[in-house]
Copies of this chain bind each other. A is one copy, B any other.
Amino acid sequence: TARNLFLLPGDGIGPEAMGEVRKIIAYMNEAMNAGFVTDEGLVGGCAYDAHGAAISEADMQKALAADAVLFGAVGGPKWDSVPYEVRPEAGLLRLRKDLQLFANLRPAICYPALAAASSLKPELVEGLDILIIRELTGGVYFGEPKEIIDLGNGQKRGIDTQVYDTYEIERIAGVAFEMARTRQNRVCSMEKRNVMKSGVLWNQVVTETHKAKYSDVQLEHMLADAGGMQLVRQPKQFDVIVTDNLFGDMLSDVAAMLTGSLGMLPSASLGAPDGKTGKRKALYEPVHGSAPDIAGKGIANPIAMIASFAMCLRYSFNLVKEADDLEKAIANVLDKGVRTGDIMADGARQVGTVEMGDAILAEFKTL
């Protein structure tokens, strides 16, 4: 049976990075009979340019119908002043919301070959392997009211609303506990219960979910500001971190930067398993952005996009061996000293986007 992938390369370096994934898909179809069928659409600034929206209805339908969506990156200075409703990010937010991708998995791992690139002391990040589980369809990103009101007298009021319901917290906590069981069995939940009512509820529901179904997992609670501090101070203390949409945005970016491997980090955004088929909607995207300053130059690092495809193999198609091999191929190529400019180091060999993709594919073929 066909495996349907919908590709949304987006803006900036997105298309270049996606090109390297395409090669891997083609190889897997040819040599492994993987049966991937791909279609492609527009998202972000390029979609706005083409039809005035950050993603078209037709492409939304294709995203909804696909087994998995591969997403590049969106945005750039060209679209800095387009109306709020059609800004590039709106395409990504709509995909997350309409596909109900409530669980965002962001591994923050430190590739051994890159520990020196971290701004932290190497001993603090060597071997680092954190999984941040960020709630992705709730909180202040989507709560209403969300508006700017004109109060007269030259005064305006900007309003956003943070909203979390019990079931939303329960299901994301469940994902965190399940993931922890496949790892070091430890979860740290972060919120600001000392100032936010949604934080109070978050804390309660995580605690109850733990007690009811996952008491074998070790659970800790931390205030989100203290969590940010601890990530910088002693990141290896964490296994799985579960937190809300906005704190997850901040904390996962800090965690990503710690690893020195920002250009290498993938993410998966998952929906709930379908009651009948067990299938879950999913979108895979690199953590880095569209990097407009280096777009089109052939120098972008495609590793995060390729590693996102590895997550896709694992979570959408249960191709565990293939996912492991692809991740191993990335690590091996780094070990051999092949580097794009962003992760260049003394004595390494600097390559462009295409060469990096080729090197990873070549390595993948040997595994």
Which of A's residues lie within 8 Å of B, judged by CB? 75, 84, 87, 89, 93, 119-121, 124, 140-141, 143, 146-148, 151, 154-167, 192, 194-202, 224-226, 228-229, 231-234, 246-247, 249-251, 253-254, 256-258, 262
Contact = CB atoms under 8 A, between A and B. Distances in A.
Given A156-B165, A157-B165, A119 B225 contact: no
Contacts of A84: 197, 200
A257 B163 CA distance: 30
B262 A195 contact: no
Contact of A256 (B143, B154, B224, B229): B229
Given A119-B232, A120-B121, A160-B162, 4 more contacts: A148-B201, A158-B198, A160-B161, A225-B249
A234 B159 contact: no
Copies of this polypeptide in the complex: 2
A166 B192 contact: no
A119 B179 CA distance: 28
User: Which of A196, A232, A247 has most chain B Cβ within 10 Å?
Assistant: A232
A228 B201 contact: no
A140 B202 CA distance: 16
A210 to B, nearest CB: 16
Contact of A254 (B93, B147, B228): B228
A51 to B, nearest CB: 21
A232 B249 contact: no
A282 to B, nearest CB: 21
Nearest to A194: B89
A155 B141 contact: no
Nearest to A195: B141
Contacts of A195: 89, 93, 140-141
Given A163-B159, A165-B157, A246-B192, A229 B254 contact: yes
A192 B249 contact: yes
Contact of A234 (B119, B201, B202, B253): B119
6 contacts: A84-B197, A89-B195, A120-B120, A156-B166, A158-B198, A247-B250
A190 to B, nearest CB: 10
A265 to B, nearest CB: 12
Contacts of A258: 232
Given A119-B124, A119-B233, A229-B256, A201 B161 contact: no
A256 B228 CA distance: 10
A234 B198 CA distance: 33
B228 A159 contact: no
A146 B197 contact: yes
Given A120-B119, A121-B121, A224-B250, A158 B229 contact: no
